[in-house]
Amino acid sequence: MDASLPHTRGVRDSKARFCDCGLKIAGTDSHQVCSSCLGLEHAQEGIDDPDSCGHCAHLTIKSLHRRLA
Ligand SMILES: [Zn+2]
Ligand SMILES: [Zn+2]
């Protein structure tokens, strides 16, 4: 199956996937939906209380802040 996939040069984020809305979800992000669908509130929660979400807990503060930008 893998052999049929296009070999795209420069794409290192092989674990990246797509949200139902069509936006890309980073391979490092274990949420089921993209940051846009999660909303800014969720991103803020992840910063204020990383324990509130097991997925956010795996993300760095830096990447969480980037969502708020
Ligand atoms: Zn989405
Ligand atoms: Zn989260």
Helix (H, G, I), strand (E, B) or coil at 24: strand
Residue 48 within any structural domain of the chain: yes
Other Cβ atoms less than 10 A from the Cβ of 43: the count is: 22
pLDDT single digits (tens) 33-53? 998 999 989 999 999 998 899
Residue 69 within any structural domain of the chain: yes
Residue 16 within any structural domain of the chain: no
Q: Which residues surround ligand 2, an ion (CB under 5 A)?
A: 46, 53, 55-56
Ligand that comes closest to the CA of residue 52 = 2
Considering only CA atoms, give the Rg of the chain.
Answer: 14
Q: Which of 10-19, 20-29, 57-66 comes out lowest in average pLDDT? A: 10-19
Count of structural domains, the chain = 1
- What's the CA-to-centroid distance between 41 and ligand 2, angstroms? 10
- What's the CA-to-centroid distance between 60 and ligand 2, angstroms? 11
What mean pLDDT comes out for the span 25-36?
A: 90
Q: Where are the beta strands (DSSP E) in the chain?
A: 17-18, 24-25
Range of the domain at 67: 39-69
For residue 8, name the pLDDT band (cuts at 50, 70, 90): low
Residue 13 within any structural domain of the chain: no
- Helix ranges restricted to H, 1-69: 35-38, 40-48, 61-68
Ligand that comes closest to the CA of residue 44 = 2
For residue 15, name the pLDDT band (cuts at 50, 70, 90): confident
